[in-house]
Amino acid sequence: MMDVKRIVSKIERDYIVSNLKKEERIDNRGLWEYREFQIKSDIIASAEGSADVSLGDTRIITGLKYDVGEPFPDLPNEGVCTVMAELLPIASPLFERGPPDEQSIELARVVDRGIRHADCVQTKKLCIKEKEAVYILFVDMYVINYAGNLIDAGGVSALSTLISAHIPEGIWNEEKHETEWTGKYLTGKNLVKELPFVLTYGKIEDIVFLDPNLPEELVCDGKISISVTEDKITSIQKSGAATFTIDEIKTLGSKSLEIGKKLRKELNLLQYLSKIE
């Protein structure tokens, strides 16, 4: 990973901080404003669901694939949904080829945790035959351009992909002891129950702000990501050296529920439900 100190000078950091202290941003946003989201759904013909999501200049393409396998012994009638992320070198000079690094692991885990803890995917509907066969869903995020706040862009991209899902419907053939296909599909309408949005805040000194862009993210003392449904917080993840007081976390929790409701209405992700029956 490239040394951040070679990317952001002290002069630039001081400029960013001085603006934030005046509740201004270098891209003219307020402290609690998102950059613009742009969403294109079902863009990959070979995937069982997909989305191309941009948050400002940050861009992530996500695809959904599936496999059929045996369930976990302790969850005999539930399928599996797992989220993975890859930071492509074309997205930023900060990214290098090789095994997943801390940033890609964090991106995948925070998005996955928000979805999992919100009971977003109805895993029991992914069961073909109890103790025998279940669907295993793979939600793969590919970062195409990095301009800050991959987590929130990835969260919307993963949700949009799951909503657009169209997975071949399988039934269990007892005689052949194998899965057969009905010609119908399991769709996002069947599988997605909750829409958990993840909201990420940066902190520099004592200033907290929503959706850090790349220069802000590079000079942040730390970040905190809060996943929310319509009426509850489902997960919280902190990174970096910054500390957050109990009062700050309570305030950000309330702020996340408020902004989450607004975002849910503005993005209207259910419009991307698959039209396939």
Task: Give the pLDDT band (50/70/90) at residue 90.
Answer: very high
Q: What is the model's pTM? A: 0.93
Statement: residue 6 has pLDDT above 80: no
> Which one, of 70, 101, 104, lies nearest residue 86 by Cα?
104
Give the mean pLDDT of the chain.
Answer: 93
Statement: residue 3 has pLDDT above 70: no
Statement: residue 133 has pLDDT above 80: yes
Place of tokens 């309570």: 250
Average pLDDT over residues 54-75: 97
Statement: residue 4 has pLDDT above 80: no
Task: Give the pLDDT band (50/70/90) at residue 8.
Answer: low
Taking the CA atoms of 46, 49, 53 and 58 in sequence, report the sign of the dihedral they define.
negative
Structure tokens at 222: 């730390």
- What pLDDT is recorded for position 96? 87
Statement: residue 98 has pLDDT above 90: no
Pick the more confident residue, 267 or 3.
267
Instruction: Provide, rounded to the nearest whole percent, the portion of the chain with pLDDT above 70.
Output: 97
Confirm or reject CATH 3.30.230.70 for domain 4-272, answering yes or no: yes
Statement: residue 106 has pLDDT above 50: yes
Task: Give the pLDDT band (50/70/90) at residue 5.
Answer: very low
**Contact assessment for residue 1 and residue 208, using Cβ atoms and an 8 Å cutoff:** no
Statement: residue 127 has pLDDT above 70: yes
Span of 5-19, 67-81, 89-103, 225-239 with lowest mean pLDDT: 5-19
Average pLDDT over residues 49-61: 98
- What pLDDT is recorded for position 7? 60
Statement: residue 77 has pLDDT above 50: yes
Average pLDDT over residues 224-247: 95
- What pLDDT is recorded for position 268? 96
Beta-carbon contacts of residue 276 (< 8 Å; ≥ 6 apart)? 166, 185, 187
Question: 169-202, pLDDT tens digit by residue?
Answer: 999 999 999 999 999 999 999 999 999 999 999 9
- What pLDDT is recorded for position 2? 46
Average pLDDT over residues 236-263: 96
Whole-angstrom CA distances from 68 to 115, 139, 237 are 21, 15, 31
Indicate the residue type of 64: L
- What pLDDT is recorded for position 258? 97
- What pLDDT is recorded for position 276? 82
Residue boundaries of the structural domains of the chain: 4-272
**Contact assessment for residue 127 and residue 77, using Cβ atoms and an 8 Å cutoff:** yes
